[in-house]
Amino acid sequence: PELSEEPAAEMVKMTKSKTFQAYLPNCHRTYSCIHCRAHLANHDELISKASESFLLFCRVNVGCGPAEERVLLTGLHAVADIYCENCKTTLGWKYEHAFESSQKYKEGKFIIELAHMIKDNGWE
């Protein structure tokens, strides 16, 4: 996933485990990994939400595994598991390809399960 247009030096800091972690600007409400608090996306990138997961654009600290075909509730999709780059916890999946035309809007977007994310920065 791409980072914002802000200079990389301001968004990326070295963590104790010697991996790089990107930070989103503090002026936005963010979604973070519940296990390590690494930023994942701004609230503005939320597309839709279901009872147990959110569909959104993820921009930072998300890694992607290999794609495979799975039959989901909305039909056949090619998806790849996604994980937190900081703590390596599986967060959900990325839609790589939708086989049904009504589901094409999901391509390139991410599902993060609510059990793996937390809201940060001004959600009161």
Q: What letter represents residue 52's amino acid?
A: E
Q: What residue numbers bound the domain in which 49 lies?
A: 30-120
pLDDT band at 124 (very low <50, low <70, confident <90, very high): low
Which pLDDT score is estimated for 90? 95
Residue-wise pLDDT tens digits, 37-46: 998 988 888 8
Q: Is 2 contained in some domain? A: no
φ/ψ bin of 93: left (φ > 0), alpha (ψ from -120 to 50), beta (otherwise): beta
Q: Is 14 contained in some domain? A: no
> Residue 24 in contact with residue 31, Cβ under 8 Å?
no
Which pLDDT score is estimated for 21? 76
Total count of domains within the chain: 1
Which pLDDT score is estimated for 91? 95
Instruction: Tell me the pLDDT of the chain averaged across its residues.
Output: 82
Q: Is 16 contained in some domain? A: no
Q: Is 99 contained in some domain? A: yes
Which residue is associated with the tokens 């994310």? 117
Residue-wise pLDDT tens digits, 22-81: 777 676 788 899 999 998 988 888 888 887 888 888 778 999 999 999 999 999 999 999
The fraction of the chain above a pLDDT of 90, given in percent, is 51
Q: Is 94 contained in some domain? A: yes
- Domain holding 107: CATH number? 2.170.150.20
Q: Is 84 contained in some domain? A: yes
φ/ψ bin of 122: left (φ > 0), alpha (ψ from -120 to 50), beta (otherwise): left
